[in-house]
Structure 1
Amino acid sequence: MNRLVIMTVGKTHSGKTTFAKALEKEMPYSAVIDQDNHAEFLHTYYQTLLPKQGHNTIKYALTQTIVNHAVNETNCHLILCNSNRNRKSRLKLLEQFQNKGFTSILVNFELPEHVLKERVEKSRRSTAILRTASTFDEVLTRQQDETNKDEIVAPIEGEADHLFIIKNVDEIQSVIQGIVNIAHMREMS
């Protein structure tokens, strides 16, 4: 089976998790790997192990272990549901998958800022996954500030085998269908 790795890119509350779950339902033999789940697990059961400052190395190690298992022990297409906004890190991760024969797909969420702000204000999501902020509004503000930095850039053509951009929620189903079609074409080849 020619496998796909689908990587979501976007700010908090842009719809990455909702999209990933919907894609998983439509695409057989796929698995969502969502770092928010890992963060919540660690916060619930291993809070004393979480770093007080700097990178959340334990979360990244847990995610990497799960990814390695999925790559080496399953035949699943992988849907990596993270922000993936740092271009250097994104390219490094994509290269690892491409070297293992995966077809890479980036799905970039470019919803307007006012939509994200409204979603954050109405959100009922648990803040248990947050480590360096106390609210999602703080996260969004930080992400808006980071957008001006060189390493935080939107994906461009050529970074992955396929690039989809979602600018409004009406485009989600057609992007899901496009990815499902790519999976079917890969299965046939």
Structure 2
Amino acid sequence: MNRYVVMTVGMTHSGKSTFARMLEETVKNTVVVDQDDQAAFLNTHYSRLVPEDGPNTIKHSMTKMIVDYVIEETDLHLIICNSNRNPKARKALLDEFKRKGFSTILVNFDVPFILLEKRVADRKRDSSVLRTVSSFAEVLKRQQEESPHIQPPSDEEADHFFTIKKEGEVMDVTRRIADLLSS
């Protein structure tokens, strides 16, 4: 069986987690690994271990441990649900999965900024995953400021590439990826 890793890319509130959970429900032999889950767990149960600034190495270590377990101990497809906006880090991660025999799928959430602002304002998402800012509005502002300096993902980065620009495309992309994972 060919194993896949599906990686989401996009700003906060672009729909990455919703998409990942929908794909996980659609394709039963998948698992979502979302660093927000590790962040919430650490902030709830081990807040004294979470660094106040600098890299959150404990969160990254937990995520790596979970991913390694999925790779080595299961035959599940992986859905990596983080922002993954840093091109170098994204490439390194995708290359590592390719070395381990995975086919790669990249899903870019290129949602209009005005919609992201509306979602941040309308939704009361749990902010316990945040560490260096106090709100998702701050996260979005920082991501918007960084965007001109960040190279967007391209179809050369993965074996399969999808872009979602509006909500109406989510079901079609989910179906197309489910077909790939089920073949």
Q: Which amino acid counterpart does residue 43 of structure 1 have in structure 2?
A: N
- 1:154 and 1:109 mapped to 2: Cα distance? 10
User: Distance between the aligned counterparts of 2:151 and 2:132, measured in 1?
Assistant: 22
Q: Kindly state the Cα deviation for residue 28 of structure 1 after the two structures are TM-superposed.
A: 2.2
1:91-138 deviation line (CA, Å, top 9, x unaligned) = 000001001111100000011000000000011111110001100000
1:126-155 alpha-carbon deviations (Å, 9 max, x no partner): 111000110000000000011122xx3211
**Equivalent residues of 2:29, 2:77 under 8 A apart:** yes
Q: Distance in 2 between matches of 1:22 and 1:31?
A: 11
- Amino acid aligned to 1:30: T
1:14 corresponds to which letter in structure 2?
A: S
Unaligned runs of 5+ in 2: none
Does the aligned pair in 1 maintain the 2:108–2:153 contact within 8 Å?
A: yes
Is 1:19 the counterpart of 2:19? The answer is yes
5+ residue gaps in structure 1? none
1:163 maps to what in 2? 161
Identity %: 49
RMSD in angstroms over aligned alpha carbons?
0.7
Secondary structure, counterpart of 1:147 in structure 2: helix
- The aligned counterpart of 2:151 is 153
- In structure 2, distance between residues paired with 1:144 and 1:46: 31
Partner of 1:176: 174
TM score, norm. by length of structure 2? 0.98
Once the two structures are superposed, the pairs formed by residues 8-47 of structure 1 within 5 Å of their partners are 8-47=8-47
- The structure 1 segments of at least 4 consecutive aligned residues displaced by more than 6 Å after TM superposition are none
Please give the TM-score of this superposition, normalised by the length of structure 1: 0.95
What is the identity, as a one-letter code, of the residue corresponding to 2:179?
N
Name the structure 2 match of 1:96: 96
Tell me the amino acid that sits aligned with residue 75 of structure 1.
D
Residue type of the alignment partner of 2:32? V
Q: Which residue of 2 aligns with 1:120?
A: 120
Are the equivalent residues in 1 in contact too, given 2:27–2:182 (CA < 8 A)?
no
Aligned partner of 2:77: which letter? Answer: H
Q: Which amino acid aligns with 1:72?
A: E
In the alignment, the residues of structure 1 paired with residue 23 and residue 182 of structure 2 have an alpha-carbon distance, to the nearest angstrom, of 14
Q: How many residues are matched?
A: 183
Q: Deviations over 1:28-55 (max 9, x none)?
A: 2100001000000000011111111111
Q: In the TM superposition, what whole-angstrom CA distance separates every residue of 1:31-87 from its partner, at most 9, and x where no partner exists?
A: 000100000000001111111111111100000000000000000000000000000
